[in-house]
Every structure is written in C-alpha cells, then in structure tokens.
C-alpha cells in the first residue's frame, strides 16, 4: 500500500464542509484539525504493540504500548499548521519538526525558507502534514530534507491530493505512504486542485 484514500463517512462529511465556498476561517481551521486527527488514526493503524507490566486497580496486569519508533510530526509551513493540533491530539508526545516552503506562483516550484528538525529524527517515524498535495513539489522537497537528516520512516498525511502530485511523489519516493481524505480530479492551469479547497493556507490563516 502506498496511497490510501480514507472513505470513512465522517472524513467525507467534514471534507465536504471544508469545500463550501462560504466556509468561515474558524470552521475551516477546526475541520482541518479534525480531519488531521482522523488521518492520523488511519496512518497509525498498523503500528506494532508490545506487552508490558502495569499495576491495575486489581493488581498486576499486562498492558500494551506502541513498540519501536517514536513520532515526529512535520507540518509544512504555513498550511500544515492547520492540521497540527488534530494530529497531536492522537500522538501528544511527538516531537515537532518544522519545514517552511512556499510554492512560487509562476514556476510552481517549492522554495524552502525554514527547517528545524528533531535532533534524533533518524530514530523516529515522520508524519508529514499538509492540507494540499498538488504538483507534489513541496512534499518531495520535504521528504528529501527528512531523508538528508537520516529519517528512514516517513508517512504523508494530506487532506486533498491531486493524481498528478501522487504520481510524482510515488515515482520519486515509493517508500513513503500517502494518506488522504480525497483524491480529487486534476490540477488546473495555475496548479490548483480541482475541485480541491482553494488556497488552504489563506483559508486557515484568514489572509484572503
């Protein structure tokens, strides 16, 4: 499995609310976090558990805990911040590795401007979060930053993905699994996802 489109009714309902053109900044932000949490639930479904001893109310019992790698959540600035709270609701102890990229409006190429990663990222599973996977350029640039820092386990969580961007990420990094609430139709001539959400960063930050 390398791309999973989540078909859960709650996810589809919430994403449709986000697509309404008159959606308020407050609702869009809240829904981005909620769908972020639901994507995290799906993206962590296959993690291995191990038993350990705990002291229960009635005496010693076996508990379960997630085995192996810890997490780092990687929001891509700006729009990825909108999903962060929802992701952290499910993995509250995760370290946060921030990557800043914007997409040049003319060339659609990603322009990096910030990088601050967990110091032990090679021991962690990275959950990259960004509402939009359009041409795939920003996601590929982020994956390359993480791999250059020694990260070997990477999953991408996006609210909406374009088929063009998925194909590009898969070709460049087949080891990275993509979890999305929707695979949409296509990109328009300006590189926006159709039907998509519009400019997710502007909607989350209220900048338009």
Ligand X SMILES: O=P(O)(O)OC[C@H]1O[C@H](OP(=O)(O)OP(=O)(O)O)[C@H](O)[C@@H]1O
Ligand Y SMILES: O=c1cc[nH]c(=O)[nH]1
Number of H helices, E strands in the chain: 6, 12
By CB atoms closer than 10 A (0-12, 13-18, 19+), residue 8 is middle
Residues found near ligand X in the complex (CB under 6 A):
76-79, 102-103, 108, 110, 130-139, 165, 191, 200-201
Give the list of residues 6+ apart from residue 111 with CB closer than 8 angstroms, or none.
101, 102, 103, 104
Q: Select the residue whose beta carbon is closest to ligand X and give its number.
A: 201
Going by the annotation, the residues of the binding site are: 78, 103, 130-138, 193, 198-200
Between CA 202 and CA 198 the distance in angstroms is: 9
The nearest distance, CB 191 to ligand Y, in angstroms, is 6
Question: Which of residues 19 and 147 has its CB atom nearest to ligand Y in the complex?
Answer: 19
Binding residues for 5-phospho-alpha-D-ribose 1-diphosphate are: 78, 103, 130-138, 199
Nearer to ligand X by Cβ, of 36 and 165: the residue is: 165
Q: Say if residues 158 and 178 touch (Cβ distance below 8 Å).
A: yes
**Contacting Mg ion (CB under 5 A), which of 5, 141, 199, 205?**
199
Q: Contact residues for Mg ion (CB under 5 A)?
A: 199, 201
């Amino acid at each position: 499995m390398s791309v999973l489109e989540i078909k859960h009714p709650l996810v589809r309902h919430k994403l449709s609310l986000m697509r309404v053109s008159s959606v308020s900044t407050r609702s869009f932000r809240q829904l981005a976090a909620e769908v972020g949490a639901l994507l995290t639930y799906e993206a962590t479904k296959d993690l291995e558990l191990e038993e350990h001893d705990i002291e229960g109310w009635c005496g010693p019992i076996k508990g379960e805990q997630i085995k192996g790698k810890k997490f780092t959540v990687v929001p891509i600035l700006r729009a990825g911040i909108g999903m962060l709270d929802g992701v952290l609701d499910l993995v509250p102890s995760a370290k946060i590795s921030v990557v800043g990229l914007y997409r040049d409006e003319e060339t659609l190429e990603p322009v990096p401007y910030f990088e601050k990663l967990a110091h032990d990222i090679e021991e962690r599973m990275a959950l990259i979060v960004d509402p939009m996977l359009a041409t795939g350029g920003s996601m590929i640039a982020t994956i390359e930053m993480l791999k250059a820092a020694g990260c070997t386990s990477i999953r991408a969580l996006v609210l909406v993905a374009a088929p063009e961007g998925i194909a590009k990420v898969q070709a460049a990094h087949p080891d990275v699994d993509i979890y999305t609430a929707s695979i949409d139709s296509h990109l328009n001539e300006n590189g926006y996802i159709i039907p998509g959400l519009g400019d997710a960063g502007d909607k989350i930050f209220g900048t338009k």
